[in-house]
Amino acid sequence: MRFISYLLFIFITTTSLNAQELAVLQYGGGGDWYSNPTALPNLVKFCNEHINTALSEKTKVVRPENIDIFDFPIVHMTGHGNVFFTDEETKNLQDYLISGGFLHIDDNYGMDQYVRKEIKKLFPNTELKELSASHPIFNYHFKFPEGLPKIHEHNNIRPQAMGITIGERLVLLYTFESDLGDGWENPEIHNDPQEVRLKALQMGANIVKFAFEN
């Protein structure tokens, strides 16, 4: 069954972007995985309008141990608090990422100390490395010559984009001290200036396009 799911996943992600859905990861540990409920639908709408995708605006929720995760080419994870993966969840996430999946983790403020431990659990022999401003993900469609944009200020720390690369493929992206998801939310929620929201959505579109095509 899992082998069939792998083949289906590879077929879907290498043929077209039509009718695909992105998913939010429902993780354990007590953190609010459900924060920013309008973020992903808004990002999908922006991508469909600006980078020629045809993604479904329906946001799906998937658990890390569930075989259904293989149906989603990109899984988004966010929140403010604790994160914990069981051994079963860790193994399934590893299989998903190694077989062609992509996980974007966006710290909504407060999950950093927890999620780094779980990333290490996922890939104990691979270092989480900061991506330089010259990485293709910052120039894939929209141009960010200085790297990851700052959307919300928390601790007066520069924004960082860090990744796990297997072979030559970036399989996990962790964005820290940027808070892209807040910038994707409906404008009345955080009252961000339009130019700030635009930067967040453009960076998100780069992530989506990069994940689909690499």
Q: 152-164, pLDDT tens digit by residue? A: 877 788 999 999 9
Closest CA to 177 of 199, 151, 196, 142: 151
Report yes or no: 122 and 97 within 8 Å, Cβ to Cβ: yes
Query: How high is the pLDDT of residue 20?
Result: 86
Predicted local distance difference test score (pLDDT) of residue 200? 97
Beta strand extents in the chain (DSSP E only): 23-25, 60-62, 74-79, 102-107, 129-130, 160-166, 169-176
Query: Which regions in the chain score pLDDT beneath 70?
Result: 1-19
Give residue 192's pLDDT: 87
Percent of residues in the chain assigned helix, strand, coil, to nearest 5: 40, 15, 45
Query: How far is Cα 20 from Cα 58, in angstroms, rounded to an integer?
Result: 10
Q: What is the pTM of this model?
A: 0.90
The 10s digit of each residue's pLDDT in 12-31 is 444 344 458 999 999 999 99
Q: What integer pLDDT is reported at residue 46 of this predicted model?
A: 97
Maximum Cα interatomic distance, the chain, rounded to a whole number of Å: 48
Asked whether the CA dihedral 136, 137, 141, 145 is positive or negative, the reply is negative
Domain architecture of the chain: domains with CATH? 2-213 (3.40.50.12140)
